[in-house]
Amino acid sequence: MKKKILIISGGVSKEREISLQTGNQVAKELKKNGYKIKICEPNELLNDVTKTFKPNVIFNALHGQYGEDGYIQSILEKIGIPYTHSGVISSAKAMDKEISKKIFIKEKILTPKYIKYSYDKTFFEIDQNIKKKIGYPVVIKPLNEGSSVNVYICNKSNLKKNLKKLQFYKEILIEEFIPGREIQAAILVNNKLGAIELKPKRKFYDYEAKYNSKAKTKHIIPVDLSNKQFDELMNVSLKVHKLLGCRGVTRSDFKFYKKKFYLLEINTQPGMTKLSLVPEICMHKGISFIKLIKILLKDASTNK
């Protein structure tokens, strides 16, 4: 008898629509392969659904806040049913950009310089801090969002205007802007899966470039790197995956500039949409979408 899989998707984060797409595509693939599927929102009905449906594994298809920051993972731990992707602590560490950066720096992993900004500071103070510690241009971003939500590249002339767009966050990250190539590498169950390069027609690989097919981001695989450079890229990706104690699949985002890899962040819940990168890397490696899902389900069961 085929297993019962409960897929959690949707949620309340700014990535809700992407999560729904991920959930629906995973459900469609599993149904085709004879699995019994139920999709559920991460709401007050979740506990009742798990009791009545009695799934063998829960597939976490959530993205963003409350889905990949340790929150839903802590609820799933209490429910006691195996679930896919990373656990509570590793999810929380990866999602908090300041915490993860501190780990990168401690472990001598190259990452852009940064400062944390809170909105009780004056613009003069932050401008002086940037000039002293980072230099313009800079990237401003929330501490705990994914999919490049509310990320802006700024110089001094437009910084104040863009900071106002993020003032509903208590604190944000202001990061050194690294030009160069956008390269992303994936780890699947502690194995080096592969990498892909992105050439967005937009200024950088933001939310629109990721999920709007009209943005026409060019995907390049295999990536044009020497064997030594490729090994370095994948070794750093595996190192950070293990440092944070991640499970299942992760995708690490890099900038490659002047023959150096700068790690921007690690994603513990990479997307599974038609435009998503991990399924594309898998296909290049001969791993079908259903095989990828089965690997994640098996890993969830093994780690429980």
Catalytic positions: 15, 147, 211, 251, 253, 265, 267, 271
Amino acid found at 52: T
Q: Strands (DSSP E) along 92-180, which ranges?
A: 114-118, 138-142, 152-154, 171-176
Q: Are 144 and 162 in contact (CB under 8 A)?
A: no
Total count of residues recorded for the chain: 304
Q: Are 64 and 145 in contact (CB under 8 A)?
A: yes
Between the alpha carbon of residue 61 and those of residues 25, 27, 231, 234, 279, the distances in Å are 10, 10, 30, 25, 14
* 3 state DSSP class of 122: coil
Q: Are 296 and 249 in contact (CB under 8 A)?
A: yes
Q: Which residue has the tokens 């070794």?
A: 235
Torsion of CA 16, 149, 90, 19, to 10 degrees: 20
Q: DSSP letter at 215?
A: G
